[in-house]
Structure 1
Amino acid sequence: MKKLIILLFSVFFTLHTFAQKNYIRMADSDMKRNPEAWMLDFSKTLKWNYCHGLVMQSILQVYDKTDNAKYYDYVYDYADTMVNADGTIKTYKPLEYNIDRINTGKILFPILAKTKEERFKIALDLQREQMRTHPRTKDGSFWHKKVYPHQVWLDGLYMAGPFLAQYAKENNETALYDDVALQILDVRKYLYDPKTGLYFHGWDESRQQRWADPKTGLSPHFWSRSIGWYMMAIVDVLDFLPEDHKDRPAIIKILQELSGSIAKFRDTETGMWYQVTDLGGREGNYLESTGSIMFIYSWIKGAQKGYLDKGYLTKGEQAYEQFLKRFVKQEADRSLSITDCCSVAGLGGEKNYRDGSFEYYISEPVRDNDPKAIGPFIMTSVLLDQ
């Protein structure tokens, strides 16, 4: 009798586990791996960085879907730890002009709305102030970082754009919308490749970097995650950009064109995308999860919001199922993991110079459960209510 009870309980537990939504299972799994949110991105010490914000934004969306306070508390505890009583932020140095630091500010909007704590308003304003004096190209695009002068990377569009668009809405700073739109349109002007319809990872206005083409200033290859950052930036900025903004149609057209372009580079067997987007058949290239889920997120959200043809919702739903099959696995403890995540990629730098070559992109470490896959996967699952 005892064995039967144990067996029935085990069956019930298994069925209950599989009945849960993917966004709940993945959020719970990542919170189990990282009991404190500052531990996200494999961190050993406190850090205010974009990966933390990316995952916590997704967890706040799980809170909105479930109304389970444990998800909100997980994020609030991080904000409570990182934002001091005077509104300054631990480890954040605005004058470093690192655009990556801005993304995490997005979690403070709902926390401020819920708590009304003045320190969170001050912290939001502090991040906005960085972008007032952040160095720019001659046309107004933000440098990626002060230590990367004259350089625009696709990654940076996601780091600042949605934050600034939301800040503009929350604070009625209408002129800021023009600046956000300019960033997206300048990328189309300088980083677009008409042959493939894709976008290069980076552009050096000064043409001084070894990775930059001496004529165009462009980096030599297409990196899927960087394109994914750009697409996610567009669909998230459009949440806040006014319907009657003069640049909204052009931004939507960019999304439409790019959505069609990336469809041409899917792996025919798995439906996923390669680390170096257009060189799927080249030895050493591999199917990569972070870029793949960013593309899927952008297709699904773009179609749901009406920016893309409804056919992209079907494509996105099918690709989501293929993503589950190719990259998501259940561990022995029934937690979910995402495999084959590129840990990091960039351009230049003082140590171990990153030359933007094919060999460079495939040489960076690959790991499981990188936040740049976890966050977009949870957000995509929320969109699909799966």
Structure 2
Amino acid sequence: MRMRALAVVIGMLVASYGVTSGSAHAASSLYEAENATVFHGTVDRDHLGYTGTGFVNTANEVGAYVEFSVSAPAAGGFALALRHANGTGAGRAGTVSVNGTVISAPAFAATTDWNTWAVTRIPVTLRAGTNAIRVTGTTAGGLPNLDSLTVSDPRSTDWADALVDSTMQRYTPATVGGWSYPVALYLMGQYQVAQHTADPARRAALIAYIKAWADRFVDASGHIGITFNSLDSMMPGQVMIALYRETGEAKYGLAAKQIHDRLLPGAGYPTTSDGGFWHANSADRANQLWSDGTFMADPFMAQYGRYIGDSAQSYDIAAKQLVVYASHLQQANGLLKHAYDASKAATWSDPNSGLSSEYWCRAVGWYGVAATEILDLIPADHPLRAQLTATVRDLVRGIAAYQDPASGRWFQVVDKGSSAGNWTETSCSAMFTLTADAAIKRGYVPAATYQATVDAGKRGELDRISLHSDGLTYLTSISVGTNVGDYAYYTARSRATNDFHGLGAFLYFFEQVNG
């Protein structure tokens, strides 16, 4: 059991009796809804998964409420976590007030059913002593079923859980997005959260969400109606492998096989003369290797080898691609250029080297995440292991050299932090911190040299996420999807909030550094 999961269990056992640790920023306290003041509602036990002795089912009316009496040892900022279920299929909005002042109006989005519990987290300021926290229904449907309220130091927030809860409230499996790598990246981050949770019911709910998304694309025979003519289109195959591992259903394994077989020698997917997969089988991507592409296809192949079959060939393909790409893209400073055109025909390619001009941060990050994962998956005696380990070692050296000392993050164009218009980007900062942390923990690089890089990166990344009064998380300054370009192009890219590139990268990062 992970330490954070153990802490949750201990906290539930102790704090369910209203016990709070000795300082305002020390621990969490759990208050069961059935012990609160209830106006127009009942304590019920006819659904599964509640804590304590029951949950509160308010009347279907505007104004029904549950009021908790919360003790704070000192005035200060806290985070509220309301655990609720809403099986109606529609939101049941409400308000949250502290000592008579409304501070939030959460939507309380629908959950899969009444046995599936979600958490809405809200930042608050409490006074020393007793505080009245009231949750009131504002629609004719009343409130969702309320199980408990946890009050904690916001610095102890499990940001991976909070981000997943927020995203699942914002989107259903039908509205989260189509077959694309940014959505699949997020879902694979959610899968990592599911793997690490100690609560079986929560784990099942997270997997069910992923499965509902996948079932939009995979028929009963395991067929996906996509041509797979780009590496980007193959990355969601990781979701198929994850579901095959979880369910054992043949259709997910067969769906993954469809993508796997597309990349086998002789299957027709084009490569450069030295065997590197083109970024896409299209005129504008012909002969091109993008650092991004290593994450889109290579971890999928290694995962296929580990969890489905054809292991020796799949491992060899994944490792070879990393080596071929690095042979063209990795430079003496350890970083990788964004792209290489073997034909030197692209407008962005250098006529002599075929390389693009810049080190775009997320492209470099994709390679780091792919390489560290594939080293975890391939056998210890794989003939390319030493070469891949050296590549990661050089990459971490480059990552550390270009970290922004002020923020702990990394710049959109990595090596030009002092140039006009450059800015620190969230998704690559997550990936760089993950890569350095994984390299330390696997023994590829020394902690004495690089732990400070990880620590600063973690602080910088966490500075980019926050809870808002609507009860949801917001992750800021994420570069939107990006092609190959010059300095002005990269720095002019839009800086999005809650873009899936950033959400997924954040989950990967958080699960790695806290694992």
Match for residue 416 of structure 2 among 266, 279, 287 = 279
Counterpart residue number, 1:255: 392
Distance 2:170 2:465 in 1: 16
Question: Cα distance 1:153–1:115, how it changes in 2: closer, same or farther (>3 A)?
Answer: same
* Aligned residue in 2 for 1:361: 490
For residues 97-123 of structure 1, the C-alpha deviation after alignment (integer angstroms, 9 at most, x for no partner) is 110111111122232133222211210
**Amino acid aligned to 1:111:** L
Equivalent in 301, 323, 330 of residue 192 of structure 1? 330
Q: CA deviation at 1:372?
A: 1.5
User: Contact 2:476 / 2:497 at 8 angstroms: preserved in 1?
Assistant: yes
Partners of 1:27 and 1:59 within 8 A in 2:
yes
Give the alignment of 1:85-234 within 5 angstroms. Answer: 85-90=220-225, 92-94=226-228, 97-132=229-264, 133-147=268-282, 148-170=285-307, 171-194=309-332, 196-234=333-371
Supply the distance in 2 between the matched residues of 1:155 and 1:146 (Cα, whole angstroms). Answer: 15
Give the Å deviation of 1:89.
1.8
Greater mean alpha carbon deviation, residues 24-33 or residues 3-12: 3-12
- Corresponding residue number in structure 1 for 2:9: none
SS at match of 2:133: helix
The whole-number CA distance in structure 2 between the counterparts of 1:58 and 1:106 is 11
% same residue: 27
Equivalent-residue separation in structure 2 for 1:224 and 1:249 (angstroms): 25
What one-letter code is carried by the residue in structure 2 that aligns with 1:339?
A: T
Secondary structure at the residue paired with 2:324? helix
Q: 1:73 aligns with which of 208, 225, 237?
A: 208
Q: Give the equivalent residue in structure 1 for 2:459.
A: 321
Give the aligned partner of residue 190 of structure 2.
59
Which runs of 4 or more aligned residues in structure 1 lie more than 4 Å from their structure 2 counterparts after TM superposition? Answer: 1-4, 11-14, 16-20
1:374 equivalent to 2:465? Answer no
User: What value does the CA root-mean-square deviation take over the aligned residues?
Assistant: 2.1
Q: Distance in 1 between matches of 2:310 and 2:272?
A: 26
Q: Tell me, in whole angstroms, the C-alpha distance in 2 between the residues paired with 1:152 and 1:385.
A: 33
1:351 corresponds in structure 2 to none
Give the alignment of 1:34-49 within 5 angstroms.
34-36=171-173, 38-40=174-176, 43=177, 47-49=178-180
Residue 310 (structure 1) aligned with residue 447 (structure 2): yes
Alignment of 1:14-53 (within 5 A): 14-15=151-152, 19-36=156-173, 38-40=174-176, 43=177, 47-53=178-184
* TM, length-normalised to structure 2: 0.68
Report whether the alignment pairs 1:383 with 2:512.
Answer: yes
Distance 1:85 1:362, change over 3 A: same
SS in 1 for 2:455: helix
Question: CA 1:64 to 1:209, structure 2 compared with 1: closer, same or farther past 3 Å?
Answer: same
Q: Tell me: CA distance 1:283–1:77, structure 2 relative to 1, closer, same or farther (3 Å).
A: same
Q: Which protein has the bigger strand share?
A: 2
Distance 1:278 1:20 in 2: 33
Distance 2:68 2:315 in 1: 63
Structure 2 residues without counterparts, runs of 5 or longer: 1-35, 38-66, 70-97, 100-130, 135-148
- How far off its partner does 1:178 sit? 2.1
In the alignment, residue 190 of structure 1 is paired with which amino acid? H
Distance 1:226 1:70, change over 3 A: same
1:350 corresponds to = none
Q: Is the 8 A contact 1:297 1:376 kept in 2?
A: no
- Mean Cα displacement is larger for which, 224-233 or 196-205? 196-205
In structure 2, give the amino acid aligned to 1:98: S
* Alignment gaps of 5+ in structure 1: 348-355
- Is 1:343 aligned to residue 480 of structure 2? yes
Give the C-alpha shift of residue 53 in structure 1: 1.5
Please state how far the C-alpha of 1:19 moved relative to its aligned partner: 4.8
Q: Which of 1 and 2 has higher RCO (CA within 8 Å, sep 6+)?
A: 1
- In the alignment, is the contact (CA less than 8 A) between 2:403 and 2:453 conserved in 1? no
How big is the shift at 1:63? 1.2
Q: How many residues align?
A: 367
Q: Using a 3 Å threshold, how does the CA distance of structure 1 residues 334 and 219 change in structure 2: closer, same or farther?
A: same
Distance in 2 (alpha carbons) for counterparts of 1:98 and 1:371: 19
Kept in 1, the 8 Å contact 2:408–2:458? The answer is no
How far is 1:334 from its partner? Answer: 2.8
Map Cα deviations across residues 344-379 of structure 1 (whole Å, 9 max, x no partner): 1113xxxxxxxx211111222211111111112112
Secondary structure of 1:174's counterpart equals helix
Alignment partner of 2:470: what SS?
coil
Taking a change above 3 Å as real, the CA distance of residues 301 and 130 of structure 1, as seen in their structure-2 partners, is: same
User: Which deviates the most, 268-277 or 174-183?
Assistant: 174-183
Note the C-alpha offset of 1:241: 0.9
Larger radius of gyration: 2
Provide Cα deviations, 1:3-43, integer angstroms capped at 9, x if missing partner.
Answer: 8846445395542876541211111112222222x534xx4
CA distance in 2, matches of 1:126, 1:54: 19
